[in-house]
Structure 1
Amino acid sequence: MEYDVIVVGGGPSGATAAEDLAKAGHSVAMLDRAGRIKPCGGAIPPRLIADFDIPDEQIVAKIQTARMISPTQRHVDIPIENGFVGMVDREHFDEFLRTRAQEAGAHRYSGSFQGIERHGDTKSVVFRDGVSGNVQKMDCKLIIGADGARSNVARLEVPGGDTIPYVIAYHEIIEAPAQTETYDPKRCDVIYDGAISPDFYGWIFPHGGQASIGMGSMIKSVDVKEATAALRRTAGLSECKTIRKEGAPIPLKPLDRWDNGKDVVLAGDAAGVVAPSSGEGIYYAMVGGRVAATAAASCLATGRAKDLQMARKLFMREHKQVFRVLGAMQNAYYKSDMRRERFVSLCHDVDVQRLTFEAYMNKKLVKARPLAHLKIGIKNLAHLTGLVSELRT
């Protein structure tokens, strides 16, 4: 059998692409390594829930407050007005998405991608079967590479795919206690502390009866396990039972090109679509899967390989400016503990709080309040230049 599209990777991006293509009537194979769970805080915005029809039973917690914690342990609690941050457990959420793609008509295979062979107009994805261990081949017309931050598809097929920068993220899933002085099952804690991560942040995210505690860093000398242990000690969670431990790379910048000009297009982490500053990836991965499916469907209909460029164009048309603003914020505030202190001070501002979470929930910059934006810009400049001498407590 020759498939119209083979999707390599069955995370949120690959599963979304496979489902969309199958629903559109295309023959689709989805290849994924069994048993893989990506380390992830698990936060998703209301827009994702609406756009991708996520049932309420997949939401293991609805977060009402975000706590920003500075290097000196000062904190500011930001209420999430007119909405919430949904939390999912990637162990179950990803499998739900894969199952839904399969129910839509995608054929599901367990195995690891080995390469692509081309003979004339015939393309074959070579993979090692996850059950037998034998090397097998599947023929197709197009390939979507959705196989993560260190994507083998990207490395072999797309310019720049072998050099994408990334953060190493690590977390531990624990059995969460009831509410304590330092832990709230309805609050996400984000820790901006160079002792935990000198270039990113740490987190404590509730998942109902469980919690994700972790951090990330680009610096290879950072001991991610010890940093996570320190987080657990500070939060009084050291004695909680550890359910599992996971680590993986998170890309820092979208690739300049997502296709090879012939028959491959990338999606999700493989294309580098994780939000700067926040590291948020699930929503952008699923959008990446959707635009990759749109581009692939167009290419199949017209026979024009250049239609594969549509994936990146559609994504950037809506999200480029958000990525630019978040990237500037990361570059400005993650460089030192002094700047992290100032960033947490800036978070006290009510306009910052409201605009931040409006943008998060709706996935677009809020333009309806020009005076608020101007005030934030002035305060931002004051904090960065040191004109603000007193840090709020």
Structure 2
Amino acid sequence: MKDCLGSPAEPVSRASPRPAQHRPDDEAFDAVVVGGGPAGATAAADLARAGHSVLLLDRMGRIKPCGGAVPPRLMADFAVPESLLVARIAGARIVAPSARSVDMPVGDGFVGMVDRESFDEWLRDRAARCGAERRAGSFLRLEPLPEGGSLVWYRAKGGTEERAVRARVVVGADGARSAVAKQCLPGATVPCVYAYHEIVRSPAPGTAAYDATRCDVHYDGSLSPDFYAWIFPHGETASIGTGSMQKGFGLRAAIGELRRKAGLEGAETLRREGAPIPLRPLRRWDDGRGVVLAGDAAGVVAPASGEGIYYAMLGGRLAADAAHGFLLSGDARALRRARRRFMRLHGGVFWILGIMQHYWYRDDGRRERFVSICRDRDVQQLTWDAYMNKELVKARPLAHARIFFKNLAHLTGLARA
């Protein structure tokens, strides 16, 4: 186990398409984790390490659209080896609607980039090494059992028969449109950005505006009316993507335009992916009985930035810890700890980022001013400090004061864009 992971409402709906039969030979697990992304794989590994019997149920074969950036804090907290990194990023270029750009060097250190296809599989494999049983299949529904726990109904990949296993606790980590959340926490939905990206073969060094050590972030209403577009290097490949909450916005057309602007229209396209990404944590993550949510299912993607891998893995760890407490005590109130602890750690950051997105992303005039703010050295330093360390930096009060007054000048129009 030495290569395992490092240290660590409303009642469930009883409706089901047809009455389930509780068979004496049903398999039983302490925990069933639905979804094998970073949140689910982390939760499964932690629960297995704690000595619980765990089933990790994942659909397999699906890759979430994702820029793939991971901070050093993730590598340290979750014992992720640097061998999984496909690129090291030395800085970011922020591009305004006018095409003016601002370079933001990281300074000491780097931001790691991962490819979700191999990264997620490594996490699932590690969960199995920790003792979790992996199974490929699609979640169907939960049926509460009179004696406690649930029957978890699923369909094995490639099969047609419905199967069931017993679970004392269920971790729902099955994405933004979580089927677990839909059944167990009715009405628990949040607005989502729909993200779309194209994975292309990386161009030769020096091609157009592409830099294999830099992330490009475009704040331009023609590329996204309410979010941003990006070009993120992944070593031999690159992610070119955008997102929007606006129904009917042409995501593919926007990516075509971005590729043209960046001189990447001729780059070979290897795959295309799209998915909804939540930008606000749910108000409740547990059903008060035996289900707790994690990752996108709980809404833990940072507003404004759309960053989700670190928060998903932390959410998975906190959900596992809460589930562990429930399994030991039998007290479903233990499941509430996952959300409480997450919001205590990161609720303030999410609140600030939500305000930023609401104000600065509304039109191109504000986007232009936002990019101007990014020129400020104090802003750059504190931005990278907060990203790399995953906490609000409080050690530089004078810098915070200067940023406050500069933001105020931009908000009132006293500063030039």
Question: SS of 2:280's equivalent?
Answer: coil
* 1:171 paired residue number: 197
Alpha-carbon distance, 1:131 to partner:
3.0
SS at match of 2:231: strand
2:183 to 156, 166, 191: 156
Q: How does 1:137-152 map to 2 (within 5 A)?
A: 137-152=164-179
Please give the secondary structure, in 1, of the residue aligned with 2:343.
helix
2:412 is aligned, of 376, 385, 389, to 385
Q: Does 1:227 align with 2:242?
A: no
Q: Does 1:19 align with 2:45?
A: yes
Matched, 1:327 2:348: no
Q: Is the 8 A contact 2:86 2:234 kept in 1?
A: yes
Partners of 2:98 and 2:106 in 1: how far apart?
Answer: 24
The residue aligned with 1:295 is 322
Q: Which amino acid is 1:45 matched to?
A: P
The one-letter amino acid of 1:267's match is A
* 2:67 alignment counterpart: 41
Tell me the secondary structure at the aligned position of residue 226 of structure 2.
Answer: coil
Q: How many pairs align?
A: 389
Aligned-residue offset at 1:159: 4.4
Query: Is 1:77 paired with 2:103?
Result: yes
Partner residue in 2 for 1:249: 276
In 2, distance between residues paired with 1:377 and 1:85?
A: 26
- 1:47 Cα shift? 0.1
1:50 paired with 2:76, answer yes
> What CA distance in whole angstroms lies between the structure 1 residues aligned with 2:411 and 2:179?
40
> Given that residues 332 and 384 in structure 1 are in contact (C-alpha distance below 8 angstroms), is that contact kept between their aligned partners in structure 2?
no
- Per the alignment, residue 28 of structure 1 pairs with 54
Give me the whole-angstrom Cα distance separating, in 1, the residues matched to 2:182 and 2:414: 46
Asked if 1:271 corresponds to 2:320, the answer is no
3-state SS of paired residue (2:238): strand
Counterpart in 2 of 1:357? 384
Residue 178 of structure 1 deviates from its aligned partner by 2.1
Does the 8 A contact of 2:192 with 2:245 survive in 1?
yes
Contact residue 282 and residue 298 of structure 2 kept, 8 A: yes
CA distance in 2, matches of 1:43, 1:160: 31
- SS of 1:257's partner is coil
SS in 2 for 1:14: helix
Q: Residue 116 of structure 1 is aligned with which of 139, 142, 148? A: 142
Given the alignment, which residue of 307, 311, 314 partners 1:284? 311
1:57 Cα deviation after fit? 1.2
Distance in structure 2 (CA, Å) of the matches to 1:297 and 1:233 = 51
Aligned positions of 1:368-379 closer than 5 A: 368-379=395-406
Q: State yes or no: 1:200 paired with 2:227.
A: yes
Q: SS of the residue aligned with 2:393?
A: coil
What is the alpha-carbon root mean square deviation over aligned residues?
0.8
**After superposition, what is the alpha-carbon deviation per residue over 1:1-21, rounded to whole angstroms, capped at 9, x for unaligned?**
310000000000000000000
Cα distance, 1:132 vs structure 2: 2.0
For residues 10 and 103 of structure 1, the distance between their equivalents in structure 2, rounded to whole angstroms, comes to 14
SS in structure 2 of the partner of residue 364 of structure 1: coil
- Secondary structure at the aligned position of 2:56 is classed as strand
TM-score, normalising length from structure 2? 0.92
Distance across 1 between alignment mates of 2:153 and 2:411: 51
Instruction: Quote the offset at 1:119 in angstroms.
Output: 2.6
What letter matches 1:304 in structure 2?
A: D
SS in 2 for 1:300: helix
Please give the alpha-carbon distance, in whole angstroms, between the structure 2 residues aligned to 1:309 and 1:35: 32
Q: Which residue, out of 233, 238, 242, partners 1:215?
A: 242
| Aligned counterparts of 1:93 and 1:367: Cα–Cα separation in 2 | 33
Larger deviation, residues 177-186 vs 135-144 = 177-186
How many Å apart are 1:160 and its aligned residue?
Answer: 3.3
> Does the residue aligned with 1:365 lie in a helix, a strand or coil?
coil
Amino acid corresponding to residue 255 of structure 1 in structure 2: L
Please name the residue that 2:117 is paired with: 91
Is the contact made by 1:4 and 1:28 (CA closer than 8 Å) also made in structure 2?
A: yes
Could you tell me the TM-score, scaled by structure 1's length?
0.98
One of 209, 224, 247 as aligned partner of 1:182: 209
2:16 is matched with none
What's 1:5 paired with? 31
Preserved contact between residue 199 and residue 271 of structure 2 (Cα < 8 Å): yes
Q: CA separation in 1, counterparts of 2:339 and 2:187? A: 15
Long gaps (5+) in structure 2: 1-26
Percent of aligned positions that are identical:
60
